[in-house]
Amino acid sequence: MSGLFISLEGPDGSGKTTQIQLLQEFLIERGYEVVLTREPGGTDISEQVRKIILDVNNEKMSNMTELLLYTAARAQLVDEIIRPALEAGKVVICDRFYDSSAVYQGIARGMGVDMVYQLNEEALQGILPDITFLMDMDAEEGIQRKKKQATLDRLEKENLEFHQKVVEGYRSLAKRNSQRIKVLNATDSIDQIQKQMRQYLLRQIEK
């Protein structure tokens, strides 16, 4: 597999989408073929699953169902989009990937990080990110930003304690995987964050 797989992670409202678009422009300018995608979603089937997961009316959804639906959407995205793109030597940038399940379902829902990773490793058959950028910021600020932008989905509507667990979960995951996960301060300016991402990426590509 000769492509490069980059994922962006962070609590809700941490500004991942803006940074992904800027990173895509940078890589295209440098001559890379870039595939941009998001999770949950990115294929017709996965987008249908996304609707079910995030629907505020699905308040009865059990934690296991939620975990399996996220994993199913991801398996489809990998088979249909990510694996073929990497095999063709492209750069894939994914807005969230399996670390989101490790943190939201494994830690915040209390299902266990190891179990979530094990399940995902089965479902993803070796397709894992080479580089992950974590947009780190406190939960309160992220939720405030989200409330200003749009109506909240089922996960965003969770209480502050849930979102604090997400933030802490990401921080501990980043410590355990420091060779893969690069932590950025999401309260820095858009330009500052982008500059750090580009510098880090170039260093990794040149290695």
The answer to whether residue 9 forms part of the interface with ligand TMP (CB under 6 A) is no
Q: Per the structure block, which two tokens stand in for 42?
A: 């990115």
Distance CA 83, CA 129 (A): 11
The answer to whether residue 96 forms part of the interface with ligand TMP (CB under 6 A) is yes
* Binding region for ligand TMP (CB under 6 A) out of 76-84, 96-104, 124-132, 169-177: 96-104
Q: Name the amino acid, one letter, at 57.
A: N
**Within 13 Å of residue 157, how many CA atoms lie on the same side as its CB?**
11
The answer to whether residue 133 forms part of the interface with ligand TMP (CB under 6 A) is no
The answer to whether residue 136 forms part of the interface with ligand TMP (CB under 6 A) is no
The answer to whether residue 156 forms part of the interface with ligand TMP (CB under 6 A) is yes
The answer to whether residue 104 forms part of the interface with ligand TMP (CB under 6 A) is yes
Distance CA 201, CA 6 (A): 9
* Binding region for ligand TMP (CB under 6 A) out of 20-28, 57-65, 93-101, 135-143: 93-101
Q: Per the structure block, which two tokens stand in for 76?
A: 């489809």
Q: How far is CA 5 from CA 19, 82, 120, 176, 193, in A?
A: 16, 8, 16, 19, 19
The answer to whether residue 14 forms part of the interface with ligand TMP (CB under 6 A) is no
What character string, x for contact with ligand TMP (CB under 6 A) and - otherwise, covers 49-88?
---------------------x------------------
**Closer CB to ligand TMP, 22 or 61, in the complex:** 61
Strand partners, 94: 7, 37
Q: What number of H helices and E strands is found in the chain? A: 9, 5
Q: Considering only residues 22, 72, 155, 205, which one is a binding residue for ligand TMP as defined by CB under 6 A? A: 155
Q: Which has the closest alpha carbon to 106: 120, 124, 127?
A: 120
**Closer CB to ligand TMP, 51 or 195, in the complex:** 51
Q: Which residues bind ligand TMP (CB under 6 A)?
A: 12, 39-40, 70, 96, 100-101, 104-105, 155-156
